[in-house]
């Protein structure tokens, strides 16, 4: 495959991780807390696609979105409401525990070996063949990702609840003081998180049709890494960070010689450490705002 083909594939994986980062970044923006269990929302969404395999595609997509939003809200109520005000690290550990427990649940209910989801596999056909190897799914990913992000920006900057959300992200306490209904804002963040999880579940399973219990955890670890790399403080930066991690991972996978491919995670995480040491507040955060550095 030519370098254009590699770039196209890299963009495609970048969009998926960008969407993962959106859902992490939204919750962090409002609550300053990390939701690692978002990965298990994606996993449940993917399993729901398997469970509804006899239904028409349209219904499956609707059900997947509904399931993800519902689960996202359940996590908000049972985990994040009691932990309101706890540190990002505490919530990281709690949701780490929850993810692990849910992974056990998937193993028990759906088996260790995974379940195939063969939805929309026709989208893997190429649009532009030859050296480019552009597939429909890449175009759709870009389209869906772009539309979702545009809707998000429209809501955040064009609606009252969006203004409230940005106000909460800016200063939680003052926002509450001037009458922002925090619970509504938080709920909205989790709803958006659920929707983006559903989209990840749908788009990811088109390319990688096997859903295993570790799917969610694998996606969210790299997604979270991207979020922190980009700068978890701002949604745009977090999303860009997620995109970069997916993109770099895919490019490295193409450039690195076959026999060294097993060391790909090592390269990716070394890149992560280098960025964190040099720019602790994030790749896209201006210098001079290194809050977490001692």
155 binds other proteins (CB under 8 A): no
Nearer to other proteins, 4 or 79 (CB): 79
Least separation, in Å, of the C-beta of 289 and other proteins?
4
* # binding residues, other proteins (CB under 8 A): 57
Q: Which of 165, 167, 176 is nearest to 85 (CA)?
A: 176
Q: Are the beta carbons of 202 and 195 closer than 8 angstroms?
A: no
Nearer to other proteins, 74 or 266 (CB): 266
Q: Which of 75, 61, 120 is nearest to 220 (CA)?
A: 75
262 binds other proteins (CB under 8 A): yes
Least separation, in Å, of the C-beta of 266 and other proteins?
4
What is the three-state SS of 125-153? CEEECCCCCEEHHHHHHHHHHHHHHHHHH
Least separation, in Å, of the C-beta of 265 and other proteins?
5
Interacting residue with other proteins among 86, 163, 191, 254 (CB under 8 A): 86
Q: Which of 16, 31, 50, 13 is nearest to 190 (CA)?
A: 31
191 binds other proteins (CB under 8 A): no
Judged by CB under 8 A, the chain residues 19 through 58 that form the site for other proteins are 31-32, 34
Least separation, in Å, of the C-beta of 3 and other proteins?
26
Compute CA 287 distance to the chain's CA centroid, rounded to the nearest angstrom.
26
Burial class (CB in 10 A: 0-12, 13-18, 19+), 274: exposed
CA separation for the pair 90, 96 (Å, rounded): 10
208 binds other proteins (CB under 8 A): no
Least separation, in Å, of the C-beta of 129 and other proteins?
35
Interacting residue with other proteins among 4, 105, 161, 163 (CB under 8 A): 105
Q: In 187-205, which positions are buried (b, 16+ CB within 10 angstroms) versus exposed (e)?
A: bbbbbbbbbbbbbbbbbbb
101 binds other proteins (CB under 8 A): yes
CA separation for the pair 194, 240 (Å, rounded): 19
Positive/negative CA dihedral, 82, 85, 91, 94: negative
Which residue, chain included where needed, has tokens 């379940």? 115
125 binds other proteins (CB under 8 A): no
Least separation, in Å, of the C-beta of 155 and other proteins?
21
Residues that bind other proteins in the complex, under the rule CB under 8 A: 31-32, 34, 79, 82-83, 85-90, 92-94, 96-105, 107-108, 112, 170-173, 221, 224-225, 228, 232-234, 262-263, 265-266, 269-270, 272-273, 276-277, 280, 285-286, 289, 291-294
């Amino acid at each position: 495959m030519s370098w254009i083909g590699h770039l196209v594939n890299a963009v495609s994986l970048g969009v998926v991780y960008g969407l993962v980062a959106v859902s992490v970044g939204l919750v962090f923006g409002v609550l300053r807390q990390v939701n690692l269990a978002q990965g298990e929302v994606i996993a449940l969404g993917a399993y729901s696609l398997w469970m509804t395999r006899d239904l028409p595609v349209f219904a499956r997509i609707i059900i997947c979105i509904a399931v993800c939003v519902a689960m996202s809200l359940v996590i908000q109520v049972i985990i994040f409401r009691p932990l309101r005000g706890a540190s990002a690290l505490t919530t990281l550990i709690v949701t780490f525990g929850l993810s692990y427990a849910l992974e056990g649940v998937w193993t028990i209910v759906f088996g260790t070996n995974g379940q195939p989801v063969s939805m929309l596999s026709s989208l893997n056909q190429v649009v532009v063949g030859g050296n480019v190897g552009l597939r429909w799914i890449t175009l759709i990913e870009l389209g869906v990702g772009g539309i979702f992000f545009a809707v998000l920006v429209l809501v955040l900057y064009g609606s009252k609840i969006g203004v409230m959300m940005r106000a909460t992200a800016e200063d939680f306490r003052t926002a509450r003081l001037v009458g922002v209904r925090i619970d509504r804002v938080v709920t909205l963040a989790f709803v958006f998180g659920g929707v983006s999880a559903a989209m990840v579940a749908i788009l990811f399973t088109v390319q990688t049709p096997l859903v295993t219990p570790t799917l969610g955890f694998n996606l969210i670890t790299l997604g979270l890494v991207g979020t922190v790399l980009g700068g978890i403080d701002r949604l745009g930066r977090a999303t860009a960070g997620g995109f970069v991690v997916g993109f770099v991972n895919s490019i490295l996978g193409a450039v690195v010689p076959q026999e060294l491919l097993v060391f790909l995670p090592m390269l990716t995480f070394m890149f992560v450490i280098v960025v964190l040491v040099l720019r602790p507040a994030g790749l896209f955060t201006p210098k001079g705002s290194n809050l977490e550095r001692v």
